[in-house]
Amino acid sequence: MFFHKSGRGRPLRGRGHNSRRGKLSGGTSPGAFFNAVLFSCAVLLCGAGFCGCTSLRTRSYDLETDRIGAGPIRIAHVSDLHSTFFGKNQEELTGRIRDLEPDLIVLSGDIVDDKRPPGGARALLAGIRDIAPVYYVSGNHEFMSGNIRGIRKELESFGVIILSDEWRKIGINGNTVIVAGVEDPFKKRHEAPGYNQEQAMADAFSVLYAEEGYKILIAHRPENIEQYKKYPFDLVLSGHTHGGQVRIPPFIDGLYAPDQGLFPKYPGGLYRHGRLVHIISRGLSKNMLPRIGNPPELVFIKISGLPSKK
Ligand SMILES: [Fe+2]
């Protein structure tokens, strides 16, 4: 059973069926030279046995916390789809999400691409709308499309709850959970010149110190973790890195990530900052730069109370 409380007074919108077909276009791409180098590496390394670069995998995390006391919270985390298809009509991806029986589905940005047709994103939204409540935050490519407002309207037509520097309080299996979301900083460049993410977070999330519950922040960009740490979140869910494109454990855990550069500090996986857990999805896109030793991943998180609290 779910109940909702708005953090900024914006009414929740109901689930509808009238999908609007906005134009989703525009944007930029990495340099051709870098692309060619990565492609060459992909050919060589796949030939050497680093195959499976484009096969979907599910990466699971089990968390324990004293912040909840009842049944577990199950989250399916989808990031950086970039309108990629997995199976006919997106059935491989949506089937996996359904089989996980999540209480919550999180879309942490770049679900829609700025250049590719939006069919893969639409098929995802149609396939998950009846599984669990879906929460979304924007990614940089959605702003780069030049059609962020059309994308928001279309997401809402599928019943998605958009978190634009705001939060909701919901109940999941007897637990009180706060789900917050922050806009991508490209909002300033492509929609609102006066936008300041740091100020927007202060305005929206300072009150959370006074709120009870397990607190989750959805934020597309992981490199801004120092900013997210200013607020009392228990879990931050991010994407954006595509796993750093190249992974050759234990030697290379991510070769390059946007806004972090070569050998990124936060390429993907689980990071702990005191009591805060930061999980970065390596994303689902397989249409752009080659992925080497770094298959597209659906992230699943199960959060349980400590044994003494059960
Ligand atoms: Fe991104």
What six digits make up the tokens of 69? 């006391």
Q: How many CA atoms lie within 13 A of 102 on its CB side?
A: 25
Q: Which of 261, 270, 305, 296 is nearest to 110 (CA)?
A: 296
Cα–ligand 1 centroid distance for 174 (angstroms): 34
Cα–ligand 1 centroid distance for 109 (angstroms): 7
Q: Residue 215: beta bridge partners?
A: 178
CB–CB of 150/140 below 8 Å? no
Which residue reads 């927007």 in tokens?
200
End-to-end CA distance of the chain: 19
Q: Which of 138, 139, 208, 199 is nearest to 179 (CA)?
A: 208
Specify the pLDDT at position 70.
74
Q: What single string gives the DSSP state of each residue in 138-160? A: --HHHHHTT-HHHHHHHHHHTT-
Specify the pLDDT at position 6.
38
Amino acid at position 177, single letter: V
Specify the pLDDT at position 25.
33
pLDDT tens, per residue, the chain with 310 residues = 223 333 433 322 323 233 333 333 334 455 555 555 555 555 555 544 454 577 999 999 999 999 998 789 999 999 999 999 999 999 999 999 999 999 999 999 999 999 999 999 999 999 999 999 999 999 999 999 999 999 999 999 999 999 999 999 999 999 999 999 999 999 999 999 999 999 999 999 999 999 999 999 999 999 999 999 999 999 999 999 999 999 998 899 999 999 999 999 999 999 999 999 999 999 999 866 889 999 999 999 999 998 764 4
Domain boundaries, the chain: 55-309
Cα–ligand 1 centroid distance for 267 (angstroms): 12
What is the largest distance, in Å, between two alpha-carbon atoms of the chain? 56
Cα–ligand 1 centroid distance for 100 (angstroms): 25
- 88 CB-near residues (< 8 Å, 6+ apart): none
Cα–ligand 1 centroid distance for 305 (angstroms): 32
Cα–ligand 1 centroid distance for 242 (angstroms): 8
Q: What single string gives the DSSP state of each residue in the chain? A: ----EESSSPPPPPP----------------HHHHHHHHHHHHHHHHTT---TTS-EEEEEEEEETT--SS-EEEEEE---TT---SGGGHHHHHHHHHH--SEEEE-S--S-SSS-THHHHHHHHHHTTTS-EEE---HHHHHTT-HHHHHHHHHHTT-EE-SSEEEEEEETTEEEEEEEE--THHHHHT-TT--HHHHHHHHHGGGGG--SEEEEEES-GGGHHHHTTS--SEEEE--SGGGSBEETTTEE-SEETTTEES-S--SEEEEETTEEEEE------SSS--BS---EEEEEEEEE-GGG-
- Residue 146 has phi, psi (to 5 degrees) of 75, 10
What six digits make up the tokens of 1? 């059973």
Q: Which of 79, 129, 102 is nearest to 302 (CA)?
A: 102
**Sign, Cα dihedral of 204, 209, 215, 217:** positive
Amino acid at position 303, single letter: I
Pick the CATH number of 55-309 from 3.60.21.10, 3.40.47.10, 3.40.640.10, 3.10.129.10: 3.60.21.10
Q: What is the 3-state secondary structure (H, E, C) of 183-195?
A: CCCHHHHHCCCCC
Cα–ligand 1 centroid distance for 241 (angstroms): 7
Cα–ligand 1 centroid distance for 4 (angstroms): 28
Cα–ligand 1 centroid distance for 127 (angstroms): 23
pTM (2 decimals)? Answer: 0.84
